[in-house]
Structure 1
């Protein structure tokens, strides 16, 4: 139910299509316009009721149908009271025995339409109370029924119950579907977040190995400086000793960090991390698998982190070609442009659309991993489909130490 301070929403206001949102207003308007004059005519001409009284009853019974689009329960209070009052007013006039009492047909039509609106908005408890009130009114009015009148004491009770049940079931089904959509959206967001965190942890493990190698080299050089360099002043030798101690401490901290980042399933990541020189071997292995790959190499000296990122980008890009475009001609190039390394992987469309991907597995982390690697070292990444049906992956990785900060 709508809170008092909350602005009420129209029925079906959350529908995606405009005509569905306007449907309750259209139906309410048609019912109001059709029932208002019909009620006046029937009550005056058939039942012999005074025109003024008939008009007042018709307005009270039909006009609130427009309110039912926004506040169906408030409209029910008015219409229910007007229908009961109308039945009591009809006791004051003589009408033919063939005419229905206590509720003429036009009142039944309007009341059933109102019950549909109630079912689309109100909870089960409210719908049950509405139906019980309707049944009680029908039963109570039978005690004062005029002799010879054609009674419809069960008709309104049955029709209103069916309308409330049907509309309530539709509303609950819609709410369940909405909750499922919301849950799927939340689950998808959680999956994307988990994928991102897993990829960041994997990149962190690999970068740890690179940094740990450098720290080990610093430690060894500082420890052996006194033996490699003759006649070192005592203060210089003390400085080298301090550097070695600091490096060993930092290396110990990094090993503890590695214990946190690695898990029981990461045994394969204990091997030395690949770099720029291994890209040629990666391309050759892909070509042996039947993929037409052309490779343009680069012999530049690059930081290990950059070489590792370039290797992983090419690896993920070729894996995506194998999965999604088997047999497509592919060009891989690694080139140095000033203080940047450019990695480019471009594939054309596959010769024949595969009936199924050659590789059904995969982490689904390819593009996520590329973006994270490029972001960490301060580069740029451009990926996207080509007009001919191929795909392009272009990464620019900075080579200078200044660009890594």
Structure 2
């Protein structure tokens, strides 16, 4: 093939590719693109805004209908239709700016093709047509990206120029005046849109800064609480641990029961110190509590026997019953189940000393069932137990409910026949991962 043919074929291919890209861009921008969401002030006053726009453009629409009928010779039927479309398009542009622009542009072309101007009438737009077309372009520039507004502006002016040249190739100042008006309205609309976007970004940044400040304040408060807890509680727990370790050596021939109780006191004090340090680490962490907790060892139901033994060592009779296939669960379910049982047992220790406790754990196909119940304590007139923490000064039941609610489970508590109290919880196995 001759070299010239190759050059022509290559040039034609590049031109076709560029034309295809331009067509796709215009189709995406001027057919399928969605406008920006209406500003909140527009949404709040949208009915009033539509009525106001209709009130303003209605007189202009009447003028446009009269122009189309009497000055451009379109006849009453066609003149009413083509004269009414632009004002209706202005009202619709609040919600559908691109479609409204298409409506006024097509209407302008139809008027230019079908009109028979009488004398020196404006062409290709009527006087009212220029005003209404500019209004639609203004709203479009407010609601759409600047590139789309520029494309709509260019097509509007180009369509007017083609109609003018087709009708009369002589100089037509009406086209220049319309182009200047359209450019000004689009520039003003784009500037207002840019100002609105800048204000929105500033508000978002201000909100983000406020959230960061609140987060920093919370972190500082947590650090202060952690420091105070460490200074006060950790010191006393350390003293308890040391005293429990030294106490057997201060008594001549201490009994085995005394030794075991002191060993239990020291073990509980050491465990409490470890738990306290873990919580203090979470309080000092800059991460979210849930993410910080994932980086430290969490108690699970594997330590249930150890927990029950501690309560038995305090003098309570505890019976445990585990049903179903015992297996490892998600960390959130394991931790919540352990804490619920732990809090229930602690409430019995505080509020129903001497009561008999029954702990039931049921491994089911879709959930984990927990039940902690205690009999009435020996002391006459006392009706308390696993749920009493919520009735007194603590937050036992509240904490249990919150844990169950976070996992999407079910929780119930209340007195049981014959005296005593029970807490029942069901945790779905698919939560808490």
- Coarse TM-score class (shorter-chain normalised): 0.5 to 0.7
Whichever structure has more helix as a proportion of its residues is 2
- Cα deviation, residue 153, structure 1: 1.9
Q: Name 2:81's counterpart in structure 1.
A: 56
- Aligned residue pairs total 262
Change (3 A) 1:174 1:250: same
Q: Name 1:42's counterpart in structure 2.
A: 67
- Cα deviation, residue 77, structure 1: 1.0
- Cα deviation, residue 28, structure 1: 3.8
* Aligned residues: CA RMSD: 3.6
- Cα deviation, residue 169, structure 1: 1.3
Confirm or deny: 8 A CA contact 1:43 1:49 kept in the other structure: yes
Change (3 A) 1:174 1:260: closer
Question: Are 2:232 and 1:210 equivalent residues in the alignment?
Answer: yes
Which of 213, 217, 220 is the equivalent residue of 1:191?
A: 213
SS in 2 for 1:100: coil
Q: Deviations over 1:153-179 (max 9, x none)?
A: 212222112111111110121122012
Which of 159, 162, 176 is the equivalent residue of 1:140?
A: 162
TM-score w.r.t. structure 2 length? Answer: 0.52
Confirm or deny: 8 A CA contact 1:11 1:21 kept in the other structure: no
Confirm or deny: 8 A CA contact 1:11 1:117 kept in the other structure: no
Which of 141, 158, 161 is the equivalent residue of 2:183?
A: 161
Q: Name 1:95's counterpart in structure 2.
A: 118
Q: Write out aligned runs for 1:124-273 (5 A).
A: 124-146=146-168, 151-241=173-263, 243-244=265-266, 247-248=269-270, 250-251=272-273
Question: Are 2:100 and 1:75 equivalent residues in the alignment?
Answer: yes
Structure 1, unmatched stretches of 5+, are 264-401
Q: Write out aligned runs for 1:369-380 (5 A).
A: none
Structure-2 separation of matches of 1:2 and 1:249: 69
- Cα deviation, residue 247, structure 1: 3.5
Structure-2 separation of matches of 1:44 and 1:144: 22
- Cα deviation, residue 99, structure 1: 2.0
Change (3 A) 1:178 1:84: same
Q: Write out aligned runs for 1:382-401 (5 A).
A: none
- Cα deviation, residue 147, structure 1: 7.6
Moved more, 57-66 or 141-150: 141-150
Structure-2 separation of matches of 1:3 and 1:208: 65
Confirm or deny: 8 A CA contact 1:101 1:151 kept in the other structure: no
Structure 2, unmatched stretches of 5+, are 1-28, 286-391, 396-433
